[in-house]
Amino acid sequence: MVFADLFFIYVFLPLCLICYGLAKKLSTKNIVLIVFSLIFYAWGEPLWILLLLFSSFFNWFIGILIGKFRDTPRAKLAVGGGIFVDILLLLIFKYSAFIVENLNAVSGAAIPVPQITLPIGISFYTFQAISYILDCYWETVDVQPKYHKFLLYLSLFPQLIAGPIVRYSVVEQEIDNRSVNATDLCEGALRVILGLAKKVIIANNLWSIVNTFFGKDITGLSVLGTWYTIIVYSLYVYFDFSGYSDIAIGLGRMFGFHFDENFRHPFACTTIAEFWQRWHISLGSFFRDYLLYVPIFGKPRKYFGLFLVWFCTGLWHGAAWNFILWGLYYGCFMLFEQKMGKKRMKKWPIVWKHVYTKLVIILGFGIFYFEDLGQLGQFFLNITGISMIASGAPFTDPMTFSSLRNNIFLILFAILVSLPVLPKIKSYFLENKNDTVYTIGRVGSVAVCMVLLAIVSVLLVDTTNNVFLYFRF
């Protein structure tokens, strides 16, 4: 089941809200959420719910052991064993085929490549489990003594399959003490609708453009066509993932949970470091807090840890070499900016900063898209213009101009929405002390969201273009 689906919007979610509202006690409300979360996860592939239940029980039990053997070597053993099993599950279900393929390529062996379907959301809930174990050991959270409450945390359907990576500390208090009022329901619903609009109205249409140009061999693609498509793809990834994050945050709010923001207009950045402070914030903070600052590398850990983080960031996104290259690519620019220093970079003209960051980001998305390294190489030949010299590829082509002409308003609108323009308009109306302006803003936001919901609903009827990028993670 996915969020951008008519069944979810008009059947599953209303039924869940009704059952949740009818439950009187918070304990009963939690059970309702657990049941609906398990149904949600099992909808596509019921078998993988067993893996989720195993992971939740195992990590909960590890937490119990940590609490029982606090400040003893057994606690360290429990942490190490828990993290080992969690990573082992990722290796088996996500990376086993990649590992075997590369072993065969290097050694010349003929080991059968495992054909294992990737369990949806395994990267997200595994990282949440690891963060819980470490936080219990570091005593930044209390050990959860009741399994069903930990299961609620790990399986909560708003964030289960696509994040953000919610730490236990964020919801620890709200599991046992939360309430939902009319404001929560309204604000949450509006956030959900905005997320759906990002996904269905903007991202899905951007993907159609990308698939038209990059969905085939790009050897003959023009230089301008390559630049045009990768810019569109960059926007697509943002709206696809940030849209789902908006939905998750909005759904959480409707049930009394307050998740941290996962995106803060990353394309407004002026440095690559700032970009990653704004993009997929929950993943970046996870690696920063649980990997970068772990004191296991000694004096050289600053640089070794930096590239380890970016290696893991790339690998987390997919079992392919392009993702590893993508992570290390950003590691190099993070190192460059560290060496350059904040004071020097502040002296750069603002135009240079934006040109530099946007070029790095756009080229980075090219590395991210092409899992086939041959096509990745062709991408760089095209985008640099070398293909014009080497093989006589055209600089431009009629198809690119036609696509740009037909989609210019969509692209301009996407660029506008990706920047912090609409939040400023929203804050003007909804934070205005003038009652009339505030009322106009409140009524207007509801009206706009109702129109957006209607458009989303129409577009989702018989849709065939509703893929979600992060399902493969």
**Residues whose CB falls within 8 Å of the CB of residue 196, separated by 6 or more in sequence, listed in order:** 3, 4, 9, 243, 247, 452, 453, 456
Supply 124's token pair: 């997200």
Query: CA 5, CA 368: separation in Å to the nearest integer?
Result: 27
What tokens appear for 218 in the block?
Answer: 């790009």
372: exposed, middle or buried (C-beta count within 10 Å: 0-12, 13-18, 19+)? middle
Asked if residue 365 lies in contact with residue 230, where contact means CB atoms within 8 angstroms, the answer is yes
Is there a contact between 334 and 303 (Cβ–Cβ < 8 Å)?
no
The DSSP result for 65-85, as a single string, is HHHHTTTSHHHHHHHHHHHHH
Which of 281, 244, 231 is closest to 414 using CA atoms? 231
- Write out the H or E segment, with its range, that includes residue 418: helix 398-418
Is residue 192 packed enough to be buried (19+ CB in 10 Å), middle (13-18) or exposed (0-12)? buried
Cβ of 444: how many Cβ atoms within 10 Å?
A: 14
Residue whose tokens read 């740009």 = 404
Is residue 446 within 8 Å of 438, Cβ to Cβ?
Answer: no
- 3-state SS of the chain: helix, strand, coil percent to 5? 75, 0, 25
Residues classed as catalytic? 317
Contact assessment for residue 240 and residue 469, using Cβ atoms and an 8 Å cutoff: yes
Q: How far apart are the C-alpha atoms of 16 and 409, rounded to whole Å?
A: 37
